[in-house]
Structure 1
């Protein structure tokens, strides 16, 4: 699309620019790449699938090497993953997400499915929350062997539905948190339970500063952590103090309602969101939640380093830690 000469309505650099005619120019995000019959590094197979035509939800699904070759199919865990990108850019089909999913599927010996939810601002929140919930419901619907409608064989053949995990990074971790809260109060199809979840560098924010965050009110309103939420969920009651982005705000639903027994929260030392992630971890511990929560704090690294600098030693260690969480 040609954006030359168009008037800008909103821009959040270096991520996104929205024009007055409603068109959107995404300035960030890695290139889209095709799936692979066999990834050269991991041997993982991948393919793109349609979850729903209406609403339009798709995904990329990953199968560990040799799993499909075995005569007696072993049942393995499944990870339902929600990508990051501020709810407004990046894709389940991008190079960096595909790289991460291949590594997780291989290291965890798990089926992995990365959800392509609809992006804001064309599809403002809470649409992404609804898409991800619908996708998770579709995945666990495969536990009913009698229902053959819209079945994906890699899920129905290989998945142990006692080992369903969810995870995400940044905005995807925010999505995972909100899915957990919903799963704590609503049943999933076939009464499936989420066994565990990991939130990597979760995107949480709020009007009151935490830890090392700036106390300057005007500066805070210029931060991307604030402006992106205003862009993607302009109708959010309470703005950045809506409980979906500020789960510890006064009046938010109790974190004791998280719908899984195991949780792993990861933060990075240089990440602006680090103190929010630690506050969330502590709030979960103090909430009365009956599960087991762990914190991984990687010193000297920035937001989403395990995706953006995926070949570094710290990235490899974190990815291995996430994979080892899936048992």
Structure 2
């Protein structure tokens, strides 16, 4: 509970507040829940693992019909929350991961990266890169009894079918990981087969399409007629105040003039999911068009759900639209 005597230095209500004494008050976010050895609705097993002293993850293993270890595609997932809120251990993401693991028959590593403003960007990007390196280390050391080896990955992971995925800020992380993967290598030269970005958090100083004040619908994400005072702008600057170029930094605006070429994305296929009423919708669509026009040789597709808002499938996964989107994600991974 906030104290009236404390001075607020950064007010990002209804998301978070930062006080002069350094306290961070997160105003949104679902409660943490423990892993489940046998999820009652899906049969998926989950457990937590330490990747490093600073990074952890929740792993999900779907129920199989065989008694012998079965090799499964691997999904490395990055949760949303504007780089500032939510968790791999939260109720909403735990429920969502159980559904994806069950439908796609995929082994999931949901990464608990460090959050801003306590840990400013680019820390989250580095944490997520390190998490993939940890996964990749299992591909080159499957017969090694070294420390920090995860048996679920060794026994069940198919390292020829590695995917990365994320929603909102997590989708942003997916893009930046894919760009870096086109330049740098993972342990054992692991390759990312596919990447999905759901309602990705991209932004920029110049409005695109329905982002203009004349055509957009009211949304919590805008919060202001001024682009520089919108919540989308202020959350990025809270998470990465030293970002060169501010809101046009290539990490938040992959369409910026000085952004790396999308032709070098380090994966073979990309799926971008957008929601019709999401203020970020047009950024996702333009991103797909930019990838298509970049000369990249992979397969890219946009999947749009009309009449829904930002990350609706995580908030209300039982709706028909959410079920259809989750089914599309599962198909993308399992094909």
Q: What TM bracket, shorter-length normalisation?
A: over 0.9
Cα deviation per residue 1:219-271 (whole Å; 9 max; x = unaligned)?
Answer: 11121110101100000000000000000111211000110010000100000
Shift of 1:4: 4.3
> Structure 1: how far apart are the matches of 2:75 and 2:311?
19
Whether the 8 Å CA contact 2:2–2:25 is kept in 1: the answer is no
Please state whether the residue corresponding to 1:164 is helix, strand or coil. Answer: strand
Aligned match of 2:155 = 157
Shift of 1:74: 1.7
Cα deviation per residue 1:40-94 (whole Å; 9 max; x = unaligned)?
Answer: 10000001111101xx000100000136xx4431211010000000000000000
Matched, 1:22 2:22: yes
Matched, 1:131 2:127: yes
- Please say which of residues 58-67 and 38-47 is displaced more in the overlay: 58-67
Aligned match of 1:254 = 261
Please state whether the residue corresponding to 2:155 is helix, strand or coil. Answer: helix
Matched positions, count: 323
Please state whether the residue corresponding to 1:132 is helix, strand or coil. Answer: helix
Aligned match of 1:222 = 229
> Structure 2: how far apart are the matches of 1:79 and 1:184?
18
Please state whether the residue corresponding to 1:52 is helix, strand or coil. Answer: coil
Please state whether the residue corresponding to 2:114 is helix, strand or coil. Answer: coil
Whether the 8 Å CA contact 1:137–1:189 is kept in 2: the answer is yes
- TM-score where L is the length of structure 2: 0.94
> Structure 2: how far apart are the matches of 1:100 and 1:314?
14
> Structure 1: how far apart are the matches of 2:213 and 2:67?
61
> Structure 2: how far apart are the matches of 1:60 and 1:277?
28
Please state whether the residue corresponding to 1:326 is helix, strand or coil. Answer: helix
Please state whether the residue corresponding to 1:18 is helix, strand or coil. Answer: strand
Structure 1 regions of 5+ residues with no counterpart? none
Whether the 8 Å CA contact 2:262–2:291 is kept in 1: the answer is yes
> Structure 1: how far apart are the matches of 2:37 and 2:232?
38
Whether the 8 Å CA contact 1:183–1:258 is kept in 2: the answer is yes
> Structure 2: how far apart are the matches of 1:75 and 1:38?
19
Aligned match of 1:98 = 94
- TM-score where L is the length of structure 1: 0.96
> Structure 2: how far apart are the matches of 1:212 and 1:126?
29
Whether the 8 Å CA contact 2:80–2:170 is kept in 1: the answer is yes
Aligned match of 2:218 = none
Please state whether the residue corresponding to 1:160 is helix, strand or coil. Answer: strand
Matched, 1:183 2:181: yes
> Structure 2: how far apart are the matches of 1:146 and 1:245?
40
Structure 2 regions of 5+ residues with no counterpart? 215-223
Aligned match of 2:34 = 34
> Structure 2: how far apart are the matches of 1:3 and 1:156?
49
Matched, 1:207 2:214: no
